[in-house]
Structure 1
Amino acid sequence: IILIGLVILTLSVIYDIVSVTARIPYLPLTLSGMTFLILSFAWLLGNRYTELYNRLDEETNLLEVKVRERTEELRDAIFKLQERNKQHEKDLRLARVIQMNLLPDQPENLEGLRFVAHYLPMDDLGGDFYDIFPFSQTKTGFLLTDVAGHGVAAALVSMMLKLAFTSEAKNDKLPAEVLTQVNDSMMSHLTTGEFFTCVYGVLDRAKQSFIYASGGHLPVLHYKKRDHQIYELENTGPIMGFRRGVEFENKEIKVQEGDRLIFYTDGVIEARNAREDEFGLDRLKETLLKYSESPLDRSVQALMRELYSYSGDWTVQDDFTLFIVEIVQL
């Protein structure tokens, strides 16, 4: 149509020029041709605009359909993820209940002893584990392990350690022998570089002794009531879970009525305040000594208050385990 408009405009101009040259009366057509050409352009642009608008409307409708489809797909995917997450949380809660049930209750039947424990994992599941082995009325074994890391993997390793120690300690073996056999047993199952520390000892009230062995663990603290002092029991072996055939050494100390043995993991002494300063071993010993004359349960409660006070709004930064054994009667 633009071509027709150009032809009409050209013929109109030629007509006007010829009429002027021949000096014959005429009706000017150039303006009419120009008008027709402009109208032709306007019609063409309007037609193109209509085509573009219709195409845009089709593309918009198609895009809306795709958006609705993708939205439904995303909604379904989110729903499935939420359901999986709910199941995962349910499984973790169940696993936590199972793990907590595997820990010994606050025993009432340990003749001549008092025992208080405080356990708080960083996540739903933790890598710390403690246990009690009552061999006789006068002889009791105490175990504390700390698996590197926390969460599901550490919890699974700690459960394996419970089975291994229960199997090896049942015959009342010396602690060093138990640690060596547990280490070798765990090396048969640990293939991804997990390692752990532990301390295992047997308290014999008849002999007034505590024989222990440790594998890279923090020192057990011995509160001597007669001296009103706290002493650190030295480590007797390396961290466990690296290689077979590791040998550990037994150590023996004498105990008396009123003495306490304090077992703990690094989550206790690594609690931090607002300045990122750790609670530390020295402050732990000072606090234990400060409340040493209080009944054992109140002493532990006071220690926990000190930890909360020091750390402010305390959030657990590592698995936290503390248990204390008090010799009431020999």
Structure 2
Amino acid sequence: MLQTRKQLVKLSIDLVIGLVFSFFMYIVLPEFSFTGHFIAAGFVFFVCAIAASVATHLLWQRMEFKVFRVQDSRLIVQFIDRLRFSYTVEDLIDSIQSVLEHEADSSVLYVNSENSYVIYNSPTRIATDPETLEVLSRNFPETWSEGFYLIDEKLGLVSDFEHARGFFLVYGKLHFYVLCRYMKVFEQSIFDTLLYEFANFQKRTRTITQLTAISELAKEWDMVAQTQMSFLPQKMPELPKLDIAAYFRPLVNVSGDFYDIIPIDEDRTFFLLGDVSGKGLASALIMGVIMNTVKIIDNKEDLPGVIRAIDTAIKSMRLQDKYAVLFIGIVDTKKMKIRYVNASMADPLIITKAPDGYKIKPLQSTCSLVGIIDLDEIVQEEMSLYRGDVILMASDGVSEVMDDSGVELGDTDLYLNTVRNSAHKAARHFVNDIADLVLSYNGDKKLRDDVTMLVAKIEE
């Protein structure tokens, strides 16, 4: 295309100068014979040829600067401007088509060199030829360093713009090839800016892709959270002789904590509270498995059998390093007893009224954690209950919350005194007092764990 324009310019100048000189000779020397005119025409043509060459050179230099050096550099600048405001591959392709292909008459090949995947290629012979990609992949493999490079007629590396027939940009595994025949007319310094903006474009698209994925994942997390919440009691059951309340504050949408209250008959109620190790989707999945396992067990009075069923269900999921700690118990308001198995939960308490104030009775662990190691003997314990007793079941998000000095709440007299001082209140107010204590003790820091409590108070 470049040579064609140059030949057209030279031919036009030759014709114009030849016609002018011939007309001048005819007017000035009309008395010349045909031979004389022929000789004069030859002389004029010789002079015209020299003049045309000189004029062509001067005019071409001016046109080259005006049309190519200014205009084509302007096109690269235009492409850079478009690239600067491109946020997706579709934006980039639109810029390629409208500027590099349509305006700059170039062919583009955009490739992921790691697997030779063509992200985009111009609809030209060289860009669509499989051999082109094969040669480029062989000459510039995925290990090629990031930067700007020139390529020659044979798609090999070249060091100077004069002999370059294209260029390519490398960012990570992405290779961006632009093939054209007038590299020497471009301002060389502009390619540093092009490489910089190309790298920024890749960072932007990666960030946007991640944000989009997070957004989509967030929608999925919301669905998981909604499903998880459906496993938990939607409202507290109304039970004779029992006042029940719960508090559930997940650290994120999806929690590993869980609880349930299942009436067995008029006098007996099954309680469950537990915590799955870790956070995230896997923990939520284990939580759902545990809740579902408990619901479908017919004989909930066999507490060791319930623990073994949960242990089997978790292990069947084959999720590495996932386990649960949990407390299960049956409160019998007729016999005024609680039978329970504590599978490594640290915090179950009974707060009972005594002549000198409220006393705290811990419900010690009777079983190892569930779902990851072989279970040995599962011990079921039983304790007596009295009117006004409060049973507090809580996840470690309550006792292990820390103040600014790193002291855990469960190790303080403040916690035990709050438990004693609030024991006379209704279950709902008791739970709120403990929750307020947890949040105030934590201060302005972000909580580090889910906070879950289940309280049952024997009516007086």
TM-score (norm 2): 0.56
Q: Distance in 2 between matches of 1:255 and 1:74?
A: 69
Q: Distance in 2 between matches of 1:108 and 1:214?
A: 23
Measure how far apart 1:191 and its partner are. 2.9
- Give 2:318's match in structure 1, choosing from 176, 186, 190: 190
Q: Distance in 2 between matches of 1:281 and 1:203?
A: 28
User: What whole-Å deviation, never above 9, does each CA across 1:250-292 have from its counterpart, x for those lacking one?
Assistant: 0110001110110001111122223333222444322110211
Q: Rate the CA distance shift 1:279–1:62 in 2: closer, same or farther, 3 A.
A: same
Q: Distance in 2 between matches of 1:160 and 1:199?
A: 16
- Give 1:101's match in structure 2, choosing from 230, 234, 257: 230
**Following superposition of structure 1 onto structure 2, how do residues 195-234 of structure 1 map, counting pairs within 5 Å?**
195-226=323-354, 228-234=358-364
Paired residues in the alignment total 285
Does residue 82 of structure 2 align to residue 68 of structure 1? yes
Measure how far apart 1:75 and its partner are. 8.3
Does residue 315 of structure 2 align to residue 301 of structure 1? no
Do the aligned residues in 1 keep the contact of 2:351 with 2:389 (CA within 8 Å)?
Answer: yes
User: What whole-Å deviation, never above 9, does each CA across 1:218-256 have from its counterpart, x for those lacking one?
Assistant: 141011123620111110011111134443110110001
Compare 114-123 and 235-244 and name the one that shifted more.
235-244
Measure how far apart 1:212 and its partner are. 0.5
Measure how far apart 1:105 and its partner are. 3.4
Does residue 246 of structure 2 align to residue 136 of structure 1? no
Residue 228 of structure 2 aligns to which amino acid in structure 1?
Q
User: What whole-Å deviation, never above 9, does each CA across 1:12-39 have from its counterpart, x for those lacking one?
Assistant: xxxxxxxxxxxxxxxxxxxxxxxxxxxx
Residue 424 of structure 2 aligns to which amino acid in structure 1?
E
Residue 210 of structure 1 aligns to which amino acid in structure 2?
I
When the two chains are superposed, the root-mean-square deviation of aligned CA atoms in Å is 3.0
What does residue 383 of structure 2 align with?
A: 253
Compare 145-154 and 124-133 and name the one that shifted more.
145-154
What does residue 121 of structure 2 align with?
A: none
Do the aligned residues in 2 keep the contact of 1:224 with 1:230 (CA within 8 Å)?
Answer: yes
**Following superposition of structure 1 onto structure 2, how do residues 118-197 of structure 1 map, counting pairs within 5 Å?**
118-168=247-297, 170-197=298-325
Measure how far apart 1:216 and its partner are. 1.6
Measure how far apart 1:214 and its partner are. 1.7
Q: SS state of the match for residue 220, structure 2?
A: helix
Do the aligned residues in 2 keep the contact of 1:270 with 1:280 (CA within 8 Å)?
Answer: yes
Q: Percent identity among equivalent residues?
A: 23
Q: Rate the CA distance shift 1:145–1:292 in 2: closer, same or farther, 3 A.
A: same
Do the aligned residues in 1 keep the contact of 2:270 with 2:331 (CA within 8 Å)?
Answer: yes
Do the aligned residues in 2 keep the contact of 1:216 with 1:237 (CA within 8 Å)?
Answer: yes
Measure how far apart 1:167 and its partner are. 2.3
Q: SS state of the match for residue 409, structure 2?
A: coil
User: What whole-Å deviation, never above 9, does each CA across 1:47-92 have from its counterpart, x for those lacking one?
Assistant: 8xx87x9658745632541562472436864666554433332332
Residue 249 of structure 2 aligns to which amino acid in structure 1?
L
Q: Distance in 1 between matches of 2:377 and 2:318?
A: 19
Residue 88 of structure 2 aligns to which amino acid in structure 1?
E
Q: Distance in 2 between matches of 1:281 and 1:125?
A: 28
Q: Distance in 1 between matches of 2:238 and 2:286?
A: 29
- After the TM superposition, list the runs of 4 or more consecutive aligned residues in structure 1 that deviate by more than 6 angstroms: none
Q: Rate the CA distance shift 1:127–1:321 in 2: closer, same or farther, 3 A.
A: same
What does residue 242 of structure 2 align with?
A: 113
Q: SS state of the match for residue 173, structure 1?
A: coil
Do the aligned residues in 1 keep the contact of 2:314 with 2:323 (CA within 8 Å)?
Answer: no
Q: SS state of the match for residue 188, structure 1?
A: helix
What does residue 19 of structure 1 align with?
A: none
Q: Distance in 1 between matches of 2:437 and 2:210?
A: 42
User: What whole-Å deviation, never above 9, does each CA across 1:167-222 have from its counterpart, x for those lacking one?
Assistant: 23x31332122112211232111332211111111111122110111212114101
What does residue 40 of structure 2 align with?
A: none
What does residue 90 of structure 1 align with?
A: 219
Residue 280 of structure 2 aligns to which amino acid in structure 1?
G
Q: SS state of the match for residue 206, structure 1?
A: coil
Q: Rate the CA distance shift 1:115–1:75 in 2: closer, same or farther, 3 A.
A: farther
Compare 296-305 and 285-294 and name the one that shifted more.
296-305
Do the aligned residues in 1 keep the contact of 2:243 with 2:426 (CA within 8 Å)?
Answer: no
TM-score (norm 1): 0.76
Q: Distance in 1 between matches of 2:415 and 2:242?
A: 22
What does residue 273 of structure 1 align with?
A: 403
Compare 306-315 and 107-116 and name the one that shifted more.
306-315
Q: Rate the CA distance shift 1:294–1:109 in 2: closer, same or farther, 3 A.
A: closer
Does residue 443 of structure 2 align to residue 312 of structure 1? yes
What does residue 262 of structure 1 align with?
A: 392
Q: Which runs of 5+ in 2 are unaligned?
A: 1-60, 92-204
Q: SS state of the match for residue 311, structure 2?
A: helix
Do the aligned residues in 2 keep the contact of 1:106 with 1:117 (CA within 8 Å)?
Answer: no
